[in-house]
Chain A
Amino acid sequence: MSIATSITVQGSYRIADKALFDGVSLTIPAGQWSCLLGRSGVGKSTILRLILGLETAGQFEGAIAAGDGKPIRGRASYMAQSDLLLPWLSLRENVVLGARLRGERPDLDRADAMIAQVGLTGDHAKKPGALSGGMRQRAALARTLMEDCPIVLLDEPFSALDAGTRADMQDLAARVLKGRTVLLVTHDPAEACRLGHHVNVLSETGIAPWPVPGSAPVRRVDDPGLLHAQAALLSHLRGAA
């Protein structure tokens, strides 16, 4: 993996002459987790797509740049709410999908190491249909790790999981993605306050930073600072809705 870099997003986004967000300025520090919250439809996933260089419905005016001045494309991997595993491939084949799609020879030994890292050793030959929801998200995380990108963009990757599995996945993701520049788009204030070195709230008027607890992530679920921060953040989001 190359050295993690920061990312800055500055600008406005319009869809058919209507501003989705205006004058946004977001800095995602290198090697840390930044979380982005906001009500549905405010443009959280759009920011993520813009960073990834994916097609969007509207027009962005501004600049998106990495701190080291190099292009972001090719150095960012993506994990979505849905695991996006191909049902006709085995877990291991799914993990090496990126190499196959680029026409490279996949490193199966490394894939097995990634599978082991997410705790799925012994399941590498199984098809996604034989895995539980939590196992599938672990497999998607292994696929993300296999890309070995210094920038990782996560779009609500744990939101479809039950509470226990979600907490386990948060711990696992924080452990295996340590040292990378991570942007987590989430609806869950508790998740943001638990995982984020930085929390940002997006609204039509821009992005505002939200104070995080003093303890280091991943924070304990019963951390009083975490409980206070998530309650305050939830109240803020409800007030903004």
Chain B
Amino acid sequence: MNRVWYPLCAGLLGLGLWQAVVWITGAPHFILPDPWRVAKVGYENRALIAEHTLVTATEVVIGLVIGSVLGALTAIQLAASPRLARLTLPMLVFTQAVPVFALAPILTVWLGYGMASKIAMAVLIIYFPVTSAFHDGLTRVSPALLDLAETMGASPSRVMRRIRIPHALPSLASGLKLAAVYAPIGAVIGEWVGSSKGLGYLMLLANGRAKVDLMFASLIALAVLTVALHKAVSLLAQRLNEISRIE
């Protein structure tokens, strides 16, 4: 019961605070629309919002899958070769010093105004968290367990498959949960820089026409998309944790 009531109460509290701010400041609706107005505009433009949400959701899901697979494969490769990890990890950390957002215009030039540049943004933004979290898990296996495997005559590839990877699944799950929240940010920034579809584009369009209520409605659609994605990934993460059953 608490699973339903707590989020519901939190949502109602948020809406109440929003309405209170509108009343207290007396802001006009083209600056700060009230929740009711946003709901009304959202309902009236439901087809439009749904169409753009579908575009963003497609970019995010494809980006999430590609970024997670690439991140996981990189982590396995780095864990399998400590020498490669010593060489590559500092470079990976260095790439994080470059704001991914700054790459959006370049990616648009390279990959065009279509979905590819937005998917690439989502991939870039989640690649490091997934790689880092999974690599941590893969390399934190008890040395005594690795010793036992060695005395049993295990090959490094079997140690990876049968010990390291199952052991690191909870870490991968943590990385994926972070990725589920970051991926929509990447896609929307890509849409802001150059696109003709998606929630980022719709927000810019609404902003240009001073339709703040439509902007808010688009923003809420994006938030719902992110929460749904996080929920779906959390269920997957829960399954990964059950497989590992770390006490």
Contact = CB atoms under 8 A, between A and B. Distances in A.
A238 interface: no
Contact of B153 (A54, A80, A98, A128): A98
Contacts, number: 61
Interface of B: 142, 144-145, 147-155, 158-159, 162-163, 166-167, 243-247
A147 B152 contact: yes
A54 B162 contact: no
A102 B145 CA distance: 15
A102 B163 CA distance: 13
Contact of B247 (A78, A87, A103): A87
10 contacts: A52-B151, A54-B150, A80-B144, A80-B147, A82-B144, A84-B144, A84-B148, A87-B244, A101-B154, A102-B152
B153 A88 contact: no
Nearest to B241: A88
A88 B244 contact: yes
B151 A87 contact: no
Interface of A: 49, 52, 54, 74, 76-78, 80, 82, 84, 86-88, 97-98, 100-103, 127-129, 147
* Chain A interface SS verdict (over half): mixed
Contacts of B163: 86, 101
A82 B247 CA distance: 14
Nearest to B157: A103
A127 B246 CA distance: 11
Given A54-B151, A86-B145, A87-B246, 18 more contacts: A49-B147, A52-B147, A77-B151, A78-B147, A80-B144, A80-B147, A82-B144, A84-B142, A84-B144, A86-B163, A87-B247, A88-B166, A97-B162, A101-B152, A101-B153, A101-B159, A102-B152, A103-B158
